[in-house]
Amino acid sequence: MTHVPTHPTLLVSALAGLVGLAGCVGFIDDAGAHGGDDEDRVVHPPPSDPGVSLPGPRLRRLTVDQYRNTVRDLLGGDLEDISEIPADYRADERGFTSIGAAEATVGRADTERFEELSLSYAAQVFDDVGRREALVGCDPSDAGDPCVVDFITDFGRRAWRRPLGGDDIDVMVGLVSELAESGEVWDALELTVAALLQSPHFLYRVELGERAAGDSRMIRGYEMASRLSFALLDRGPDDALLDAAAAGELDDGEGVRRHAQRLLEDPRAVAAIQRFFGEYLQLGSLEGIHRDPSVFPDFDPALGDDFRREIDLIVEDAVFDRRLAIGDLLTNRRAFVSPALADHYGVDHPGGDGFEPIDLPADGPRGGLLATAGFLASHAAPEETSPVKRGWFIRLSLLCDDIPEPPPEVQANFPVVDREKTMRQRFEEHTASPTCRACHEALDPLGLPMEEFDAIGMFRVDDRGQELDLSGELDGVPFWGTAEMNDALRDDPRVVPCMTRHVARYFAGVPEFPGEAAVADTVLASGVGADLRSILIEVLASDAFRYAGALEEGE
Amino acid sequence: MSPKKKQVSRRAILKGILGGAAVAVTLPTLDCMLNGHGTAFADGAAIPNRYGVWWWGNGVRREHWIPERAGRGFDLKAETMPFAGVKDYMTMLTGYDVPSAESAHNAAHAWLTAGHSDHSKTYHTPGSQAYSHDQIVADAWAGQTPIHSLQLGVSRMGYEGNGTRGNTSYADGGAVMHAEFDPQSVFDRIFVGVGGDDEAVSAELRRARGRRASVLDAVMATSTGLEARVGAADRARLDQHFTAIRELEVRLSDESMAAPIAPICDPRRTGARGTGEGEHNSREPLEETHEAMAEILRLAFACDITRVFSMQFIKHQGSTIFWQVGTDRQLHDITHDGPQDLVHDINVFMMTQFSVLLEKLRDTPVGAENLLHYSTILGTSEVGEGSGHQSNNLPMVLFGKGGGRLEGDQRIDGGGTSTSRAILAAIHSTGVEAESFAANEGRATEPAPGILV
């Protein structure tokens, strides 16, 4: 057992040795197996705005929800996950999972988990004679039965979101034959289903586009079917959408718009939009929320689920049922409360034990997304409020302002905090300091008016026994308290373009890109409705969703 | 046609767990395999080294970390006191600076890998040049053990929820290598899956493994064309994925994996569960999870199942709640506006956990020595102090003797030498003579002086 000191770049030869040992790895080049993606000849029109510079195409690993939904669509809903589906990847608290999916990898542990899951799903279906026959659609007598090829062709198209190439079908039919030599054809088909489900073509969304003029890439056809369906339904495309792709209906903005409208009528689209708001509003910490029991002795962490549920119901009502203008999401006084949440809000519950819509008083402090307990609690620390987190959200996520990271000299000298003082007193010390002032002047006047809501989103009238000063201002416009601030934000011309940019980032799955503001301007100049649903449809029909930049080569 | 009656449940075949008997895969280094002195194999081959990094976020309290005395017999301070039992194996490194413009918690990307991380404007991972030191070593040793390397984590709590700000391991090409957080799941994956007490069962398991290998073969056969169609970042991601598939296929195909079980490699299932997704906030079982992970590492090293790990005890800028020391606040917040005594208590708690792993390795004999002697384990964090975010004089400490390349019981001051050069020295201490570590302004081609014997 010697080990020769090896330069890292010799990894490739080391691996080659490993593969040689196995003696059973056959490589079949499947380039060209995808039909119609002859890179150099197919030239599509360029994106309409030359100033837009999108990142190059990326493989996106299915998110946990996308994986779970898609497997169930393919195999039937009644399935058990025998181990944890590899977790979503988020850069940080502001990161979207749709963007993290472009960076998430399938490492050794994930590979084994996906193998185990796919074998188990297939076993759960094929152990049941009725289920397996319903899935396969016939009772093959042996591996050469034509129905084997038919099944692989049909199931493969749905699993991989495109027709399998001839080579792919040959490999899978070959697998059935090989396995059937030492077992039954049903067992062979079972393992072939597992093969299709642990393939990179299943685990990643392969939406690489085709060459367009100007070095960009246009996404169309089956790739667009995949992109649209995962974006709006968090699952792979169904046969109808794949057929539409085959018919060329997804090759231009108008076709994408039409199908986006259709998909948004699907009740399952609600969950996908709720997920967007959950990530946009950074509600992840509500699950298993922790509050310091010495500060909040009566707080039941289970209420965190109610906080989240309320926002989901507000989104469904405001975006789908009433189609409110985006600005009105900040002042909308329709709330949804469980009995416990009604208590928390100090309002009467209409009755029953579930969530019920109520209209909050028009002159009260609460109303709009920023005044939900869910937003307020997720923008707080376990023991106290966080005007910085609240102000930061408004600046970055609602107004798309650029707040620089604290400069190094600040980072090296964070002031010592006197926790006996009120938040406003503490923050006044920050604004007095020349180094801290730049950021705090931008954040505090938006965060401090919300001090009327504590770290669990309950209304309060004092902080550490002292009366609250809720004065704030938005770039010169003064206000008092959350409700007046929400009115100012609703009318601020930056909010709708900023929301549009976040919609573009989330649904296209790309980080902030040059020309993003121009995309928002184009979308909003198109006579689009003021509600999120209408804007989303235009974003999907825009360059941001239908194009990618050139393939990026490394240094 | 009716489905055949299955002798063994599918679940059992998948997991290779039969009647509670878990079967391990390779033999530990036994005395009978060694030369008369217990210092090498009987055929003269060297006993292999191991490498790892034990990571924690938010730095240390320097006044309780940096020794007063230099050289041999240096003094332990309160936050290094938990290492008293392994001080003979300790190389305390002070005075090494991050050679990068990146600052604060993002510096970790820069100095572990020297990849750039413009996290606000682009994808988050640090870029194609990121190639972490543990992976450089693991790639150099690829194919010598059944498992290439392990990436483990204990606390799931990132900064504000379970975001993945910062990672400890990046593959060649910059693809992030996610940590595993559930010890039971890690255990099942690496120790379980072959053989059986009963020959009929073993035969069925071997057959099932062979068929799984055939499935993977088909997966690869239909996948390789993808690499030609994607950009560089995706190619690196696919490389990692395909390597994993090929390695799994090799393991499934290898009949020798059904070797008889050796007593030391017959661990009971850990029974320990890490924190699940969504239950990350308040009461993570940090000690139990880490102890189970440490035991897995001890066994994996002893049985030569893998030789490389990274352990992320808490994440970069981690907001873990250390309820064990009586607080309900998040560590990152405490470092900035909480009592620094509490930060100190938490640091002592973390280093005590680290020492659990180190003592396990020290107490596992290998010939005339022990596993820690044949290891190099870098303990480190992303900032000097959590409160100050300094990128100079980072906490860095090496444990183990690299099979004799590190002297132990030493404190070496770098006097401003780059962390990259210190890490290159750590790499070289394993016997892997990498020509360089890191890229851009952080690139080092010479190991820092004075560390290697």
Is residue A551 within 8 Å of B231, Cβ to Cβ? Answer: yes
CA atoms in the 13 A half-sphere facing the CB of A421: 12
pLDDT at B117 over 90: no
- Angle A133-A134-A135 (CA atoms, 0-180°, nearest 5)? 90
Say which range, A183-192, A420-429, B85-94, B357-366, has the weakest mean pLDDT: A420-429
Query: Tell me, what amino acid is at B419?
Result: T
Say which range, A195-204, A207-216, B385-394, has the weakest mean pLDDT: B385-394
Residue B40 pairs in a beta bridge with: B46
Helix, strand, coil fractions of chain A, as percent rounded to 5: 50, 5, 40
Say which range, A121-130, A148-157, B275-284, B338-347, has the weakest mean pLDDT: B275-284
Instruction: Say whether B14 and A116 touch across the interface (CB within 8 A).
Output: yes
Sign of CA dihedral A414, A416, A420, A426: negative
- pLDDT, tens only, B119-148: 434 565 666 777 889 999 999 999 888 889
Predicted confidence at residue B183, as pLDDT, reads: 87
Mean pLDDT of the region A144-166: 96
For A478-495, the DSSP string reads: EEEHHHHHHHHHHT-TTH
Query: Tell me, what amino acid is at B2?
Result: S
CB nearest to B129's CB, from A2, A8, A555:
A555
CB nearest to A59's CB, from B46, B177, B230:
B230
Predicted confidence at residue A19, as pLDDT, reads: 30
Is residue B6 within 8 Å of A132, Cβ to Cβ? Answer: no
Q: How far apart are CA B130 and CA B117, in angstroms?
A: 10
B282 contacts on A by Cβ (under 8 Å): 288, 290, 301, 382
Burial B386-405 (b: 16+ CB within 10 A, else e): bbbbbbebbbbbbbbbbbbb
pLDDT at A299 over 90: yes
Report residue B50: phi and psi, to 5°: -125, 160
Return the top range by mean pLDDT from B140-144, B229-233, B375-379: B375-379
Say which range, A143-147, B85-89, B395-399, has the weakest mean pLDDT: A143-147
- Written as six digits, the tokens of B91 are 């190389």
Predicted confidence at residue A87, as pLDDT, reads: 87
pLDDT at B259 over 50: no
Instruction: Say whether A18 and B278 touch across the interface (CB within 8 A).
Output: no
- pLDDT-based confidence at residue B104 (cuts at 50, 70, 90): low
Residue B310 pairs in a beta bridge with: B53, B151
- Bigger pLDDT: B301 vs B120: B301
Mean pLDDT of the region B329-339: 87
Predicted confidence at residue B453, as pLDDT, reads: 92
Q: Strands A210-211, A217-218: parallel, antiparallel or unpaired by DSSP?
A: antiparallel
Mean pLDDT of the region A209-224: 93
Whole-number Cα distances in Å, A515 to A394, A506, A550, B75, B191:
22, 16, 15, 57, 51
Mean pLDDT score of chain A, rounded to an integer? Answer: 88
Mean pLDDT of the region B374-382: 95
Is residue B385 within 8 Å of B79, Cβ to Cβ? Answer: no
Q: How far apart are CA B206 and CA B215, in angstroms?
A: 14
Residue A136: partners with Cβ closer than 8 Å, 6 or more residues away:
A147, A151, A189
How close does chain A come to B87, measured CA to CA in Å?
28
Q: Is B200 exposed, middle or buried (0-12, 13-18, 19+ CB in 10 A)?
A: exposed
Report residue B232: phi and psi, to 5°: -60, -40
Is residue A529 within 8 Å of A535, Cβ to Cβ? Answer: yes
CA-nearest residue to A210 within chain B is B229
Is residue A445 within 8 Å of A430, Cβ to Cβ? Answer: no
What's the full length of chain B, in residues? 453
Mean pLDDT of the region A399-427: 73
For B233-268, the DSSP string reads: HHHHHHHHHHHHHHHHHHHHH-GGGGPPPPGGG-PP
pLDDT at B247 over 70: yes
Mean pLDDT of the region A73-88: 91
pLDDT at B256 over 60: no
A13 close to B (CB below 8 A): no
pLDDT at B243 over 80: yes
For A36-95, the DSSP string reads: S--TTT--BPPPS-TT--PPPP--EEPPHHHHHHHHHHHH-S----SSPPPPP--SSTT-
Q: Is A296 exposed, middle or buried (0-12, 13-18, 19+ CB in 10 A)?
A: middle
Mean pLDDT score of chain B, rounded to an integer? Answer: 82
Q: How far apart are CA B236 and CA B224, in angstroms?
A: 13
Helix, strand, coil fractions of chain B, as percent rounded to 5: 35, 15, 50
Interface-testing mutation among A90, A92, A426, with chain B (most B C-beta atoms within 10 A) = A92
Predicted confidence at residue A14, as pLDDT, reads: 32
Q: Distance between the two ends of chain B, CA-based, in angstroms?
A: 70
A104 close to B (CB below 8 A): yes
Instruction: Say whether A168 and B222 touch across the interface (CB within 8 A).
Output: yes
- pLDDT, tens only, A431-485: 787 777 888 888 999 999 999 999 999 999 998 889 999 999 998 999 999 999 9
Residue A29: partners with Cβ closer than 8 Å, 6 or more residues away:
A167, B224, B225
Query: Maximum Cα–Cα distance for chain A, whole Å?
Result: 83
Is residue A93 within 8 Å of A282, Cβ to Cβ? Answer: yes
Q: How far apart are CA A455 and CA A285, in angstroms?
A: 13
CB nearest to A59's CB, from B144, B237, B279:
B237
pLDDT at A417 over 80: no
- pLDDT, tens only, A332-343: 999 999 999 999
Instruction: Say whether A55 and B103 touch across the interface (CB within 8 A).
Output: no
Whole-number Cα distances in Å, B49 to B93, B364, B375, B427, B446:
21, 14, 5, 11, 21
Is residue B408 within 8 Å of B83, Cβ to Cβ? Answer: no
- pLDDT, tens only, A340-383: 999 999 999 999 999 999 999 999 999 999 999 999 999 998 88
Cβ under 8 Å to A: B residues 299-338: 321, 328-330, 333, 336-337
CA-nearest residue to B46 within chain A is A2
- Angle A318-A321-A326 (CA atoms, 0-180°, nearest 5)? 30
Give the rounded distance of the alpha carbon of A546 from its chain centre.
18
The pTM of this model reads 0.86
Give the rounded distance of the alpha carbon of A242 from its chain centre.
22
Query: Tell me, what amino acid is at A514?
Result: P
- pLDDT-based confidence at residue A503 (cuts at 50, 70, 90): very high
Cβ-based neighbour number of residue B415 at 10 Å: 11
Q: How far apart are CA A335 and CA B205, in angstroms?
A: 57
